[in-house]
Structure 1
Amino acid sequence: MTEATTEAPRRTTPAAGTRPWRPWAGLLAAVLLVGGTALVGRELARGGADLHLIGGYVLRGDWDPLVSPRVLLPAAVGLALLLWAPTAARAARWPVLLAGSAAATAGWAVSLALAGGWGRLTEPLGSRYEYPYDVPRVGGIGELLRTFNDSVLADSADPWTTHVSGHPPGALLAFVLLERAGLGGLGWAAATCIAAGALAVPAVLVTVRAVAGEPAARAVAPFLVLAPTALWVATSADALFAGVFAWGVALLATAAARAAGAAPRALAGGVLLGLALHLSFGLASLGLLALAVVLVHRGRLGWAGVVRVLAVAAAGVLVVFALFALGGYDWFEGLSLTAERVRSGPSYADRPLAFFLVANLAAAAVAAGPASVAGLACLRRSALALLPVAVLAAMLVSDATGLVRGETERIWLPFTVWLPVAAAFLPPRQSRVWLVLSAVTALVVEVAVRTEW
């Protein structure tokens, strides 16, 4: 079965005709955004505001440079990827590229984390605020679903820990199922998050191929691997959310791109998207991306075809909602209670909204990396541009809710993992420079900032 062809404009090089100064203008804008945010944040902190960023003003983490021979590990891995990844992305067979991109992402993420010591792989999940902390209190899965919302509010009889209460039960359930499968402990929990986060990269490549063709996917592969987002792949549960959602979108994109056999892919994609919504409420705004990967094929499918693919995917989403509802969990009630829990906490009350509406975007710019922000400044009218544009729109929707105040370098990982797609619009002669800058940014953040994850 062959993939359906797309219109000619989608097969042209996205970077064709890009003015060489535009990416540098985009980088300058990002530097001013991050620098200005840091200056304002410092003044707010000096004035007595508690930003709850453990000493930071943009990222959650204090400036505390690490001087250790362990830093040589990510430096060596980064250098090897810089030398090898572009050639491999051009020459490797497609299945090998997909597998290799996941392995390379995992290796890069793990090497960055190990700069801080072996414990850095599992330490982020060992906090009393994280999901594994509440795993021992879960009895039956049915009871968990029926009673989950009873413990969301901070003043309930036995409230869930911070991260558990801020998400639907699917997030906690994932770690419970690991434990029930005999894979309990922080080591397996960390391995699952890292693997899922790394697998988001081939999912993005599959989506790009379905939208804009294989050359575009090969062009962005090294940027996806070396993006600073790897810092939060190892290790945060948001990496798990990113992987599940990304493959849901990938299946939906390939369903829309194929002339036959679309229904099973659309249904499977919908199921994964439904599961993702039961991992994190915040992924709801990313539905804009799911719509975009189907709407981009409207010219070939027609409106009837678009509606058909989306309807099948929606059926998959509803299946998941129905199963959780049958188990006793009300997603919409959970969303309302979670919003109330967030608003009642000190991290919400103390953090000034006006500042974080901007600071959220600054942190996301750091996580996405220089190549992403430079590529965004070079976007041209094309099918591929719809992907980063849809993600940016989803981020703005999330930002506008006011519920997300800080830590978006981690919270928005399912969003920012898509932004390196914009690197396809960079001038080809500059691509190596931007790849180096992305890797250096990740290394500098790892070495200079003592992040919580």
Structure 2
Amino acid sequence: MASPVEQSRRTGPAADGGDRPRSRPRWIGGGVAVFAAVLLVAGCAVWGGWLDARGHHLHLGNAWPLSGHWEPRITRWAVAPVLVAAVWIAWGPRVAARAPWRRLTALVYLVAVAWPVALASWDGPGALTAPLTTPYEYLHDVPRVTDLSTFLATYNDHVMDPPRWTTHVSGHPPGMLGLLTVLDRIGLGGPEWAAAMCIGAGAFAAPAVLSTVRVLSGEETARRAAPFLPAAPAALWIATSADAFFAGVAAAGVCALAHAAARTGARGDAWAVAGGLLLGGCLFLSYGLTLIGVLAVAVVVAQRRFRPLVVGGAVVVVLLLAAALAGFDWFTGLDLATQRVRAGRGWIERPEWYFWFANIAALAVAVGPATVAGLAWLRRDRFAVLPGAVAVILAVALASGLSVGETERIYLPFAVWLLPLAGLIPVRAARFGLAAQAVTAIAVTGFLVLWW
């Protein structure tokens, strides 16, 4: 009987390695996809400049479609990302193909930490904590929390009415501020610990996605995706933003449900409870993470199981009820946060129709050209539920109009699930694909100063 790895070689997305003549249309399709993405990004950049010159306020700086401004520079720290990229391009594909699975997973996590730290260090070590120290971030409001029970019971009172929470706090549930407050109370306060938490959790998304791909599509497909998961341009927003923390927690929750669906009995239920706790926790980190439920359902239903959804869903309901008993009404909070967004200058002044295109363009930059090219090798099997679910999420987010601007950051929990697409490109092109990812990230770092 064939092993799971051998079966995945025959039946999974990796079955077409691109070495057969019939794969030539896929090469053309990959090239067309990348060319279309480049045109979209360039078009949104020109369009953004045109709108800005005519008085439209995009609130993005001048690095359209990304949030930031142009500032080409080379620093003494620039060698760090170049070295990390060079080592991973040279050794990543080989290690992914040969290393024992647990060792590979650990290595993917280490690279997922090293790559964003190296990119952020382009402007010196201080750049790792700088994004968390602005007056708009969570740390600004930590001193305002004197008692956690009162904090939860009165949280919604300060979303719209004074004294208002700062920008990011008022637009989100109380989870992140509460967590940072607890860290502060136990002696782990300040931007350094907060940055370590965000980067550490954000990097965990890579092995979590890797493990999920293995469950859905076999080890061979997962190994081919492994070099790309920690090395995408999306790392630019892992060091350092709270959304990186959100992405890591959400990825761990989806991964747990995928494993729950692959097991039966008590072990399967234990994984489902873990998934419910993590995904339920996501609801208290960001209202936008409600959409991660689409991915959670997809990875379970793709395995023709439903019990994990019932068990995990019950845990989520219990968490919502517990929060309500503590005084925090999640649904009221969602309504207030939505009102606040729609009353803000960004909502009023930004032309929404521009962001129907700019959001996707920014996402294309974050996932990188190798991921875009991988679309040409996508096949109809269980692996396809990942990009399919992300497509549904993006459609809902765009239709809501609540995700205009900063897409490269706020879509991060969903973008990480597109990265395995890069593993579908032919094996012989893996190093070229990794180089394209690295060059994109380094170019953005060297030419732009990002706001997040």
User: TM-score, normalising length from structure 1?
Assistant: 0.94
For the 8 Å contact 1:385–1:422, the answer to whether it is kept is no
Structure 2, unaligned runs of 5 or more: none
Number of the residue aligned with 1:27: 34
Q: Which residue of 152, 160, 165 corresponds with 2:159? A: 152
| CA–CA separation in structure 2 for the residues paired with 1:292 and 1:12 | 18
| CA–CA separation in structure 2 for the residues paired with 1:359 and 1:136 | 37
SS of the counterpart of 1:167? Answer: coil
- Does residue 50 of structure 2 align to residue 43 of structure 1? yes
Q: Which residue of 255, 258, 283 corresponds with 2:260? A: 255
For the 8 Å contact 1:15–1:424, the answer to whether it is kept is no
| CA–CA separation in structure 1 for the residues paired with 2:79 and 2:162 | 49
| CA–CA separation in structure 2 for the residues paired with 1:309 and 1:277 | 18
Number of the residue aligned with 2:242: 237
Number of the residue aligned with 1:297: 303
Deviations 1:229-273 (A, max 9, x none): 110110000000001000000000011112442111011101100
**CA positional deviation for 1:10:** 5.1
**CA positional deviation for 1:428:** 2.5
Amino acid at match of 1:265: W
Deviations 1:131-181 (A, max 9, x none): 00000000111111100100111xx12000000011111121121121122
Number of the residue aligned with 1:90: 97
Number of the residue aligned with 1:78: 85
Structure 1, unaligned runs of 5 or more: 299-305
| CA–CA separation in structure 2 for the residues paired with 1:330 and 1:27 | 44
- Does residue 278 of structure 2 align to residue 272 of structure 1? yes
Number of the residue aligned with 1:397: 396
Residues 6 and 280 of structure 1: is their aligned pair in 2 closer, same or farther, counting only changes over 3 Å? farther
| CA–CA separation in structure 1 for the residues paired with 2:444 and 2:405 | 17
- Does residue 327 of structure 2 align to residue 321 of structure 1? no
| CA–CA separation in structure 2 for the residues paired with 1:398 and 1:174 | 26
| CA–CA separation in structure 1 for the residues paired with 2:208 and 2:6 | 19
Residues 312 and 5 of structure 1: is their aligned pair in 2 closer, same or farther, counting only changes over 3 Å? farther
For the 8 Å contact 1:15–1:428, the answer to whether it is kept is no
Amino acid at match of 2:137: E
The alignment's C-alpha RMSD in Å is 1.7
Number of the residue aligned with 2:217: 212
| CA–CA separation in structure 2 for the residues paired with 1:4 and 1:295 | 21
For the 8 Å contact 1:251–1:268, the answer to whether it is kept is yes
For the 8 Å contact 1:73–1:115, the answer to whether it is kept is yes
Alignment of 1:45-444 (within 5 A): 45-153=52-160, 156-260=161-265, 261-298=267-304, 306-444=305-443
For the 8 Å contact 1:6–1:212, the answer to whether it is kept is no
Amino acid at match of 1:54: G
Deviations 1:305-327 (A, max 9, x none): x2212101101211221221121
**CA positional deviation for 1:4:** 9.4
| CA–CA separation in structure 1 for the residues paired with 2:11 and 2:181 | 44
| CA–CA separation in structure 2 for the residues paired with 1:214 and 1:140 | 48
For the 8 Å contact 2:159–2:336, the answer to whether it is kept is yes
**CA positional deviation for 1:97:** 1.4
**CA positional deviation for 1:56:** 2.2
Amino acid at match of 1:244: V
